[in-house]
Amino acid sequence: MISVVVPVYNERPTIPIILKRIKNVPLDKEIIVVDDGSTDGTREFLESLRDSEIRVIFHPKNLGKGAALRTGFKYVNGDIIIIQDADLEYYPEEYLQLIKPITDGYADVVYGSRFIGTHRVFLFTHYFGNKILNFIANILYNTNLSDLMTGYKVFKRDVIKNLRLEANGFGIEAEITAEIFRRNLRVYEVPISYRGRTYEEGKKITWFHFFVELYWLIRQKFVIYNISLDTLLKMGFLRNYNRWIFNLIKPYLGKRILEIGAGIGNMTRYLLYAEQLVITDISDENIFYLKSYFGEYENIRILKQDIAGSELKELNNYDFDTIICLNLLEHIKDDKKALMNIYMLMKEDTRFIILSPALSLLMGSLDVSLGHYRRYNKKNLLYLLENTGFSVEKINYFNFLGAFGWFINSRILKKKSFSEIQIRLFDKFVKFLKLESIFKIPFGMSLIAVCKRK
């Protein structure tokens, strides 16, 4: 089912027509209309509606398009959400082509672009302002979007559920776009038809809104709502670092792999060769990313699983030769319970590879913001593993360069997150970390251990 969210403000001449056209679309749907304090008779018309397919919510006063959309999003039940303006500039008859990239499984978000489809030719000032905003957005978020201000934006339900939106007015257009590209979602554009209105016909957006959109584009570049997700997304930029970690564990990997706490899949992409790959996480948002990125692979199974919980029956159905737990144990309050559960999943020849933050000296603001309960020293991690029943084949520190950066940022500067510039700069120096294998440096930002059952 699709949910069509219709924000309305003073559209009495067009609202009956647009609702009729939406209803005529041959799709299973619900229509959610949010009247944003209309004073031209729109409210009275909506109050008189008696239609089970249409749900109407009223704002007591005009709050803005963004506020109306946020209200509408609270009531959606469909798997796909479509924003529909209440004027006649856009054509509901094109819903099928708008949702196709999502229903076909290769998009999380779809924008209907007015500039690659049939459109009315007029108002160069609007066209020029749109192009400048798109140019700025594409620079800020490294993309190639053609129509940021389109009224047709389509989302998977989980996308809308996880966005934190605050703009009340037309700034919602830029805010949504910025959040989508910051989250590295799969965005597609499809051509749509467009019949633009003149101001005499009721068009409401003006030159002033250009600066509103610009503000939200820039603001969202620096605002962090979810530090854990923001960190995972930035870790995706560490291509050299992630490849280096993979090369460290590669000699111990088998063909039937369980990756516990996969996050959004920064390491998973290196394991796609496996005959069987089961990936788990406890976060709904992370599961959404994993399904978006890897759901179409036939050799991959994605499960929501708490490794420290008591229900592991589904995992017991598999015969794993390798279990990987990278940067997860520090997030689990009862780390011994988690290790005991992992131990019970292992066969005699199964290898367990664990990577965790090291050195209690480094524990600081970054650890707190990321939800770390602890950092491990070599001695106490070794004791924990052996006391749980593991035979530790190898355990050592690694990433000595990262230890210095973590100490400065977390203990001295008291930062709660890394900047994208810092992440990318660090990735350039990963080649120097190869010195660790030569000089056996006795400390590092992390510990890596390879274990088997005793």
pLDDT in tens, 443-452: 899 999 999 9
Beta strand 351-357 with 446-453 is: antiparallel
Written as one letter, the residue type at 141 is Y
pLDDT score recorded for residue 199: 46
Q: What's the pLDDT score for residue 192?
A: 93
pLDDT in tens, 82-91: 999 998 889 9
What does residue 333 show for φ and ψ, rounded to 5 degrees? -60, -50
Sign of the alpha-carbon torsion through 396, 337, 403, 426: positive
Q: What is the pLDDT of residues 230-277, one digit of tens each?
A: 999 999 999 999 999 999 999 999 999 999 999 999 999 999 999 999
Measured distance CA(24)–CA(21) in Å, rounded: 5
**Alpha-carbon span 118 to 193, nearest angstrom:** 5
Whole-angstrom CA distances from 285 to 184, 187, 232, 233 are: 13, 17, 12, 12
Q: Which two tokens stand for residue 394?
A: 């190898």
Residues constituting the chain = 454
The residues that bridge with 110 in the sheet, in sequence order, are 154, 188
Amino acid code (one letter) for 123: L
List of domains in the chain: 2-222 (3.90.550.10), 229-453 (3.40.50.150)
Q: Are 162 and 211 in contact (CB under 8 A)?
A: no
Locus of tokens 């099928």: 96
On the CB side of 299, CA atoms within 13 Å amount to 13
What pTM did the predictor assign?
Answer: 0.86
Q: Give the orientation angle of helix 227-235 with respect to helix 284-294, to 10 degrees.
A: 30
Burial of 202 (0-12, 13-18, 19+ CB in 10 A): middle
Q: Give the pair of three-digit tokens for residue 187.
A: 């965005």
Give dist(CA 158, CA 405) in Å, integer: 35
Collect the ranges in the chain with pLDDT lower than 70: 117-124, 126, 196-207
Q: Quick one: which of 192, 94, 191, 109 has its CA closest to 143? A: 109
